[in-house]
A and B are shown apart, each in its own frame.
Chain A
Amino acid sequence: MKPLKLENISVKFDQKPVINDVSLSLQSGKIGCFLGPSGCGKTTLLRVVAGFQRPDAGIVMLGGEVLSSSTRVVQPEHRNIGMVFQDFALFPHLTVAENIKFGLRGWSKRDAQRRVDELLDLVGLSSLARSYSHQLSGGQQQRIALARALAPKPDLLLMDEPFSSMDTELREQLAREVRSILIEESMSAIIVTHDQFEAFAMADDICVLHEGRVQQQANGYSLYHEPANPFVANFIGDGVILDGQVLSHNEVKTELGFIYGEIAPNLPVGCPVQVLVRPDDVVHDDDAPDHALVVNKAFRGSEFLYTLQMPSGVRVLCLAPSHHNHAVGSKIGVRLEVDHLVVFPQH
């Protein structure tokens, strides 16, 4: 397995920058993810890695070999990078087994057949070897597409929005299955998605992209609790950003009260800041001195997600156990209980 390295990649479409000086790396054997809203450039970046899109600047390296630079371009067919396409792109004129065998040119007949059987077994669809793609369900097509991409033992596997055409219930199960298949094959992979839960379920290392730039690269837990900037804070999970002021090196004042936690040394005392407040940071407590107006509520089974309006007019989200059922328009007591203090400087 080989690590992937992107250095200063830029891509322009008609003079419009789509990827803007992106550098990142992915350790071998890990599952990475390009996560971002639509139009953030994540699919373009994936196509740069695959070799379908030539970058205007920058270097793509896989295990020390330069795949793309200003002087050298390795064609996609010579990169040894597998890809699972958003629409699966199974060849309709070939059977399932022939699809999987497609990339095994140069293998002996016996080895190729063994590899096909092995992969059919791995994805649990041995009985469909002679079927054609139009006879398969979406989930089956997905797994065949995966098997086909894995067959030639690529150095890296790319998956473009692999679950976007699936039912929501199916998605999570498939994501788990695919992850275990990738781990079993000890495959380095990159998936592209706009769905953070899919990213959390699949990836070890998530790279959040926005406007063609890397916003943050970290694992899911860190992205949620330690977002690097307001975009990531807003994009990952629910939350509200409040105005506040630094009181000391570990204390911020907001209109919901004082919040304690570590504050970066570049934010001096008295500095105006923005503070991220997650719904689970706002605790509903009937005995709390502060009260907020219930503006909206959404039932989520075991919990209610309340939208609350503070006396100053600022709105926050609050996750409360569902036996705390309060009507819209009533006032409830709230207090802050922040485990991870996230502070950004005011602009």
Chain B
Amino acid sequence: MFRDRLAKFSQMFRLWQWLIFFIAALFSIPALSVFSALFESQNAIWDHIKQTVLSDYLANSFILVVGVGVGTLLLGVSTAWLTSLCRFPAKRVFSWMLLLPMAMPAYVIAYTYTGLLDFAGPVQSYLRAVMGWGYGDYWFPEVRSIGGAITMLSLVLYPYVYLMARAAFIEQSICVLEVSRTLGCSPWQSFRRVAVPLARPAIVAGLSLVLMETLADYGTVSYFGISVFTTGIFRTWFGMGDEVAAAKLAAMLLTFIFTLVVLERVSRAKAQYHHTSTKYSQLPEYRLSKGRAVLAMLVCAIPVVLGFVLPATILGVWTVETYASMVDKHFFVLAWNSFSLAAIAAIISVFVALILAYGKRLFPSSMIKVAVRVSGMGYAIPGTVVAVGVMVPFAWLDNTLDSYARANWGFSTGLILSGTAIALIFAYVVRFLAVSLQAIESGLGKIKHSMDDAARSLGCSPAQSLYRVHIPLMKGSVLTALLIVFVDIMKELPATLILRPFNFNTLAVRAFELASDERLADASSAALMIVVTGLVPVLMLSYSITFSRAGANS
């Protein structure tokens, strides 16, 4: 009996499983190292922060989260309802164009609008020229304000709510809506009393993604000079050189985000509505009267134009104006840096995701499931926090190694991890593993388990069947995972700013630096490059949601 148990135990913990536990341990280092700062002794800078700016950080972060939450809900839910259940001209075009702002990093749209709307920008200059006003004669909304930041973030983040809400509206079996109509609800009332409550879990899921991104944002708030946690972490680290205080701030921010994640889970668990009917007929659409159709088009056009078309056009114009001086040898070095970093990290991330997802399929024990989930939690951690969480332990390791080498071998090893791209790539993989993991898991889920058994009975080891059967069968998912992670990394700003090796620039960093130096037009070619790359997965996503929906006649 004992020997039997022993054999089983050793069987359970084979190499693959150890690998998964190792990855989970490695990937929780950043979060753990940040949280461990909470237990470090108080210091003068931390006391100073607590007494002076911490309340600002809290207040501004709170206003930002509430503002962006309301803004994305208004934009996302209204457009989702219109494009899924109403009929008006150009509805199909709008339903995919509404995703375009996803390709626009928030910091890019922020400085684009600043260039357009600030005092020296074309809009105010035109007004002054036409009206004959001078400085101080008129009121104009200030872009670089917390209201501006809320607007910018809402414009690029609402697609998360839109996507989730739209999917939920489309999946609602039409019967419930028809029942509500027969019970005397007007279309508006059935929207308010039936459709939205039913879609609430999905909307909340989209909203929690939005709020996570809002709390994680560094580029926009930093450019607008708003003191929130991410800018505070940055300032404490680089301005005051105090990594313990920075880590304490990071730990606080992380606590808020994990609370958010838990709240979302809880709300979803409570409000798990099941559709009582599986009858998905072709969705009947509310035909809108002419006036209302125009209104609907307007509601859909505003976020598309403001969130994508206008800023992209401005970027295009600026690029045409400046490319002769900006697109040179250095620009291609930047592009190469961005592309190669993103490609390497994307490949590693997909590789790790394959190990985790396939391992979970091989050994579906609860311990493995927990380990896989822990490995993917980096998505909830803001780039600034990941960077701090990577930098602290890596620097310690480098210094330990270096002093050991000096003492025993008489030479310096330098900063092997923290001074090179290794730290940056590790941070990227930690931050974006969840993205590739999700794509790979859904791809694997579509492969029947008899495929695994068939490959095994034909002489393949698990690793061989992954290579010969599973990967070829889910080529699409693997490519999607690579692409999405690649683009996310191209856009990533704060971790890159903190962790990049000395004298090493990427497109995102360069665009941000030029914009911060008020060279807005000069920043446009790098920014446009990021936006265009970011468009590829967004267009793929638009294609797939336009052509797949429950109940549609194919």
Contact = CB atoms under 8 A, between A and B. Distances in A.
Interface stretch (B162-170, B381-389, B445-453): B445-453
A91 interface: yes
B477 to A, nearest CB: 13
Nearest to A47: B453
A56 B3 CA distance: 12
B457 A76 contact: yes
B458 interface: yes
Interface residues of B, number: 22
Contact of B456 (A52, A57, A91, A105): A52
Interface string B444-480: 0000101101111111110010001100110000000
B11 to A, nearest CB: 7
A83 B454 contact: yes
In this complex, which of A56, A86, A93 has the most chain B Cβ atoms within 10 angstroms of its Cβ? A93
A77 B454 contact: no
A83 B452 CA distance: 12
A89 interface: yes
Contacts of A279: none
Chain A contact residues, majority secondary structure: loop
A79 B8 CA distance: 19
Contact of A73 (B7, B451, B460, B473): B7
Contacts of B455: 91, 102
Nearest to B473: A93
Nearest to B3: A70
Contacts of A81: 457
A79 B459 CA distance: 8
B460 A77 contact: yes
A149 interface: yes
Nearest to A154: B457
A103 interface: yes
A77 B453 contact: no
A71 B7 contact: yes
A64 interface: no
A92 B454 CA distance: 12
Contacts of A57: 4
Nearest to A70: B4
B459 A85 contact: no
Given A70-B7, A71-B7, A148 B458 contact: yes
Interface string A85-108: 111011111000000001101000
Contact of B450 (A75, A77, A87): A87
A103 B459 contact: yes
Contacts of B456: 51-52, 75-77
Contacts of A51: 456
Interface residues of A, number: 34
Contact of A89 (B3, B4, B448): B448
A77 B451 contact: no
A93 B469 CA distance: 8
Contacts of A32: none
Interface string A139-159: 000000000110010000010
Contact of B11 (A73, A87, A105, A152): A73
B7 A103 contact: no
Contacts of A278: none
A89 B8 CA distance: 29
Contacts of B7: 70-73
Contacts of A73: 7, 11
B450 A86 contact: yes
In this complex, which of B453, B457, B460, B469 has the most chain A Cβ atoms within 10 angstroms of its Cβ? B457
A86 B451 CA distance: 11
A89 B450 contact: yes
Contacts of B453: 50, 52, 76, 83, 85, 89
Interface in A43-73: 50-52, 54, 56-57, 70-73
Contact of B457 (A82, A90, A93, A105): A82
B233 to A, nearest CB: 47
Contacts of A50: 453, 457
In this complex, which of B455, B458, B472 has the most chain A Cβ atoms within 10 angstroms of its Cβ? B458
Contacts of A71: 3, 7
B454 A89 contact: yes
Given A70-B4, A73-B7, A73-B11, A85 B450 contact: yes
Interface string A154-173: 00001000000000000000
Given A70-B3, A71-B3, A73-B7, A152 B454 contact: no
B473 A92 contact: yes
Contacts of A72: 7
Contact of A77 (B3, B4, B457): B457
B448 A87 contact: yes
A83 B454 CA distance: 7
Contacts of B468: 102
B461 A77 contact: yes
Contact of B458 (A54, A87, A103): A103
Contacts of A105: 459
B14 to A, nearest CB: 10
A50 B4 CA distance: 20
B457 A149 contact: yes
Contacts of A80: 459
Nearest to B458: A103
A54 B3 contact: no
B461 A75 contact: yes
A105 B453 CA distance: 17
Interface of B: 3-4, 7-8, 11, 448, 450-451, 453-461, 464, 468-469, 472-473
Interface of A: 50-52, 54, 56-57, 70-73, 75-83, 85-87, 89-93, 102-103, 105, 148-149, 152, 158
Interchain residue pairs A-B with the least CB separation, the first 4? A103-B458, A89-B450, A89-B454, A83-B457
Given A89-B450, A148-B458, 18 more contacts: A52-B453, A54-B11, A70-B4, A71-B3, A73-B11, A76-B456, A76-B457, A77-B459, A79-B457, A82-B458, A83-B454, A86-B450, A89-B454, A91-B454, A91-B455, A93-B472, A93-B473, A148-B454
24 contacts: A50-B457, A54-B11, A57-B4, A71-B3, A72-B7, A73-B7, A76-B453, A76-B456, A77-B459, A82-B457, A83-B454, A85-B450, A87-B450, A89-B448, A89-B450, A89-B451, A89-B453, A90-B454, A93-B469, A93-B473, A103-B459, A105-B459, A148-B454, A158-B457
